[in-house]
Amino acid sequence: MTRFVLVHGAWGGSYGFRFVRRLLHADGHEVFTPSLTGIGERSHLTGPHVDLSTHVLDLVNVVRYEDLDDIVLLGYSYGGMVVTGALDHIGTRVRELVYLDAFVPADGDSLATLTGGGFGNPASDIGAPWLVPPPKREYDDPAAAEWSNLRRTPQPVGTLTEPVRLSTPLEEQPFGRTYIRATVDPGAAFETPARRAQESPAWRYHEIATNHMIPENRPAELAELLRDLA
């Protein structure tokens, strides 16, 4: 039995892992999918105070309060920022760190600096200049697209502009490192971390032939890769 902690991406929620979670549960694994404050299932808690540190603490508290150890920790997309920022707090509890088509920041990086994004006045709605509206996403199944796009929520801008803090570079950490890349319409933002993983003996590298929405498009294939890590 392995303990998995799966961290969702921007504008989404833990519901995006519902299919993967069921498959891993069926194998007898423990699966935790924290919901990040202010988006997804916790969108009712949004506000200008929500930043990357809030999301890091969401993750850290789940791991600490559940007393989880020897975990496979996965960050999907923006979730790569969150899992990286949590390492100074829970890195000793991680056995394998997995980036799923995700950002892999160094100390001092923010999502804004990694993408060149300008999030100074993100929302058009009067009274909410601190919210960044969700971009529409494409899914393999039109029904999944309709279901999931309805649940995507604006994201507090502080989560995208606050820099990550990481005292020890990833390659110097004692846990294993895996990168999983989507190969259909691959986003340019993930080209650099994917190449880093491909070219370094410190990383494992895998590909899944779908677009960025891997957890909902290819849950069985993703679950199989995670089983191999278990």
Instruction: Please give the Cα distance from 14 to 111 (Å, whole number).
Output: 20
DSSP conformation letters of 178-216: EEEEE-SS--GGGHHHHHHHHH-TT-EEEEESS-S-HHH
The pLDDT score that the predictor gives to residue 118 is 63
With a CB cutoff of 8 Å and minimum separation 6, the contacts of 171 are: 177, 200, 202
Q: Is the pTM of this model over 0.85?
A: yes
> Does the pLDDT value for residue 39 go beyond 80?
yes
Residue 175 binned pLDDT confidence (cut-offs 50, 70, 90): very high
Instruction: Please give the Cα distance from 32 to 206 (Å, whole number).
Output: 23
Classify the C-alpha dihedral 137-101-10-112 as positive or negative. Answer: negative
Q: Which of 35, 77, 110, 148 is catalytic?
A: 77
Give rounded-to-5 percent helix, strand, coil for the chain: 40, 15, 45
What domain range is 34 assigned to?
3-229
CATH label of the domain that carries residue 186: 3.40.50.1820
Q: Is 110 a catalytic residue?
A: no
Kindly report which listed range (8-12, 64-68, 91-95, 146-150) carries the lowest average pLDDT score. Answer: 146-150
Domain count, the chain: 1
Taken as a whole, the chain contains a residue count of 230
Residue 124 binned pLDDT confidence (cut-offs 50, 70, 90): very low
> Does the pLDDT value for residue 123 go beyond 80?
no
> Does the pLDDT value for residue 117 go beyond 80?
no
From residue 80, alpha-carbon distances to 9, 84, 153 in Å are 8, 6, 19
